[in-house]
Structure 1
Amino acid sequence: MLCEIRLRRWSRQRRGIAAAAVGTLVAATPLRGSSALAAVAKSATSFQWTQPSAVYGHRFKLNGRLPEGLRYCPEFITESEEKELDELLSSGPWLRHIKSRAQQFFGLVYYQTTQELPALQPSETSAEREARPMEELPTWLMQRVLATGAFPREGEINQVAANEYLERAGISSHVEEPTAFGANLGTLSMLSPVQMTLTPAEEDLHGRDGLDHGNWVKILLEPRSLLLLQGESRYEYRHGIRRSKLVQLADGKVFRREEDYRRVSLTFRELLQSR
């Protein structure tokens, strides 16, 4: 209940600010030098924001429209860049304190989890010590994410969280805690497809009777794609990944999550001092 109260309050305060950045492609960045700025400009012109493949529940209130502030870019990275990032993550330790998935952090450490384990949250001094340095991430990756304009303030991205999903692993439906995380979220998907379910924050995917009441939309996250959540989509909708074995693809075919299924994601966000 406390989280829901915080959510409604922060939703009113933040929605206008976050939504204002949605249409921006290039923002001020901390990069220096003409070559770095040229790289950003080149990346920005190559972005192709598209409507993601979506499946709508029969009661979804937006009637075929996606929540405001949601943007999707397929092929945000190349296959070779995807391989480079996977090799980078393979060189570091995966933390397996959460049963559903393994994690790595760059920048600062913070676990958003429903598990009542205070020990999971590091102290302010150890949060940075326990994470990998942001500098270990490829320069081209951070430049390209900044070029989307979704993170307009210098140094806004101070945490990149890597998650590894095996077989039918998922993540419970949630809203990033407004007092812990900033207004802008970006998720880069790699290796395998999955569907992310968005549900209005005030409504559970299933009612108390356990039945599916249909007020949801499932977004297909393809390998190498970038999903941005700002404004309405960030504050007023829960997002999660169900433990479904089947993934409906854009061409109508069905992808099966078998025993060898593996998906890795990188989430870019600002960890607030008020956490």
Structure 2
Amino acid sequence: MGLPKFSRPKGGHDREELSCNLYVANCGPAVGLTLDRIASAFTSFGIVKGVYPADETGCRVIVSYHDHASAHSALKALTQSPCLRDLGGRSLHVRYSVERPPCLAKGSDSVQVYLEASELNIPGIYLIHDFVSPQQEEQLLAAVDARPWHSLAKRRVQHYGYEFRYDIRNVNTHQQLGELPSFVTCVTERIPLFRNLNEATAISLDQLTVNEYPAGVGLSPHIDTHSAFEGSIYSLSLSGSCIMEFRAYAGDTDSDTNSSNLLRKAIYLPPRSMLLLSGEGRYAWQHYIPHHKVDMVKDTMIRRGPRRVSFTFRKVRKGPCQCDYPQFCDSQKVKRDD
């Protein structure tokens, strides 16, 4: 069955609240749920016009309501308690689905977005879905919201362990802020799960940066400074989703602006997922979050939530980097310039 072309509702109110259509992940035939069963479960919030596959995976659907109020009620209820008893109590990821914006129309400058890290075919990049539970997500967000934020130009940040200096893109290893807070233990104790994904390096993480991104705010393309951190960087996405694009240039450096030499790949990061950057993916590929409010994922438009909060865990490097990618390495560039 093909996915209908949904129209964005018109009106003078917040358009997020006017959408009649919901994107629902972890829900579909591939996880043992028929479209009729899904429709029946979602009728508790209003009249369902139809349920359609969101993509070819069979585990993501579009639930289309007769009116926007029903869709808003379902989203609000499932955001607070993201499961339905009639669907076996599965944890669902729910977002509005909207009309494709002109800037993301077919034929524009876009890149295919993958759902699994293995599809990227970039060595050293891994993704684990549902790394924390909805309850842990709520507790983590409450913990950081109870602490002071530092405002940057377009987002807010908190630093633990060591402060990351954006002006020099590095840390002062002689100014430790303290240990990582106890409220992230539920995250750090699960880091060893990545050893089952061929990332066997055991490191003691000692730096955490928490970023809060309002809707529409992204991240400029960059490679984390080699001399600042060790090889494994872990980024947990909470509250909202986004896509992350990876860029590499066919030339000898990351400063070649010739678009014909640019390789681009992207992955969808749902809430509660943990991304690992290591090896080539960490040292030689830029990562980037586009600055827009709607992401195109497998021909489905997913509106970002009002905020996305990322917890990025790293290990501060105490000496020069000696990686296998000298053309991108600030430590080894200094050696060559001496």
Is 2:142 aligned against 1:95?
no
Give the C-alpha shift of residue 204 in structure 1: 6.2
What is the TM-score normalised by the length of structure 1?
0.64
Query: Which SS does the other structure have where 2:237 is aligned?
Result: strand
Count how many residue pairs are aligned between Structure 1 and Structure 2: 200
Q: Which residue of 1 aligns with 2:35?
A: none
CA contact (8 A) 1:100 1:169 kept: yes
Q: Pick one of 126, 129, 132 that aligns with 1:77.
A: 132
* Residue 267 (structure 1) aligned with residue 312 (structure 2): yes
Match of 1:178 among 226, 230, 251: 226
Q: 1:143 aligned to 178, 181, 189, which one? A: 189
Looking at structure 1, the residues matched to 141 and 276 of structure 2 have their Cα atoms a distance apart, in angstroms, of 21
SS at match of 1:224: coil
Amino acid at match of 1:273: K
More strand by share: 2
Return the alpha-carbon distance in structure 2 between the equivalents of residues 180 and 70 of structure 1: 19
Unaligned ranges ≥5, structure 2: 1-109, 114-118, 321-338
SS of the equivalent of 2:164 reads: coil
Deviation by residue 1:184-241 (Cα, 9 ceiling, x = unmatched): 111110111101110005456964xxx7976211211110001111111111100011
Instruction: Work out the percentage of aligned pairs sharing the same amino acid.
Output: 24
Q: Does 1:246 align with 2:294?
A: yes
The one-letter code sitting in structure 1 at the alignment partner of 2:158 is Q
Distance of aligned partners of 1:180 and 1:223 in 2 relative to their CA distance in 1, 3 Å threshold: same
State which of 295, 302, 309 in structure 2 corresponds to 1:255.
302
Quick check: 1:199–1:205 contact (8 Å CA) kept in 2? no
Say which one has the larger Rg. Answer: 2
**Which of these residues, 198, 202, 206, is aligned with residue 153 of structure 1?**
202
Decide whether aligned partners of structure 1 residues 246 and 167 sit closer, same or farther in structure 2, where only a CA change above 3 A counts: same
- Matched residues in 2 for 1:205 and 1:218: separation? 20
Q: Any idea what SS the aligned residue of 1:85 has?
A: helix
Deviation of 1:273 (Å)? 2.0
User: Helix, strand or coil: the match of 2:190?
Assistant: helix
**Inter-CA distance 81–65: structure 2 relative to 1 (3 Å threshold):** closer
2:247–2:262 contact (8 Å) kept in structure 1: no
**CA distance in 2 between partners of 1:179 and 1:253 (Å):** 39
Higher relative contact order (CA 8 A, sep 6+): 1
CA contact (8 A) 1:205 1:216 kept: no
Kindly report the root-mean-square deviation, in angstroms, between the aligned alpha carbons of the 2 structures: 2.8
Matched, 1:56 2:112: yes
Unaligned 5+ runs, structure 1? 1-53, 58-63
Residue identity opposite 1:180 in structure 2: A
Call closer, same or farther: CA 1:235–1:217 in 2, change over 3 Å. same
Partner of 1:197: 245
Determine the structure 1 residue equivalent to 2:41: none
For the residues of structure 2 that align with 1:122 and 1:234, how far apart are their CA atoms? 18
- CA change 1:212–1:86 in 2 (3 A) is farther
Query: Aligned equivalents of 1:87 and 1:151: distance in 2?
Result: 32
Q: Tell me if the contact between 1:93 and 1:104 (Cα under 8 Å) persists in the aligned partners.
A: yes
Q: Is the 8 A contact 1:101 1:170 kept in 2?
A: no
Code of the aligned partner of 1:228: L
Structure 1 moving runs of 4+ over 6 Å: 211-214
